[in-house]
Structure 1
Amino acid sequence: MQQITFKTYSILVTSIYNGYFVLNILYFLSIGIGYTIKRERKVFKYIQKRKKKKKTKKGETGKFST
């Protein structure tokens, strides 16, 4: 009797855990995708700004750029 209840309990727990796991994966994926898109945009804008700066002020940025 105890074994059967334990089995059903474990199945319940695993199903709930799997459901939450899938939900969490989807949630994190959506957040991650949004974050990476935002980050890519920021990096792209930053690179564009740096390129513009390098073109305009060559002598000043030459000292600080590594």
Structure 2
Amino acid sequence: MRLFRTLLLLLFAGLCAEADGQTVLTRRGKPAARIVVAAENSTDRTAALLLQRFVREASGAELPIVQGVK
């Protein structure tokens, strides 16, 4: 259930960002963003890996996953 809420939140955030402007995740097959997880737990890690795989399959670029960047 928590994974579903996390993915739903990411989708909603993406839709809101698109309303104000575009968010660039990749450029010419190279990563232009990163996936940040606040805490290292299995649910957050699974959600980050799913997002990473989706972006890789859609664009060919693999976004790096980092933890707790301030």
TM-score where L is the length of structure 2: 0.30
- Flag the structure with more relative contact order, 1 or 2, with Cα contacts below 8 A and sequence separation at least 6: 2
Name whichever structure is richer in strand by fraction: 2
TM-score where L is the length of structure 1: 0.31
Name whichever structure is richer in helix by fraction: 1
Computing the radius of gyration from Cα coordinates, the structure with the larger value is: 1
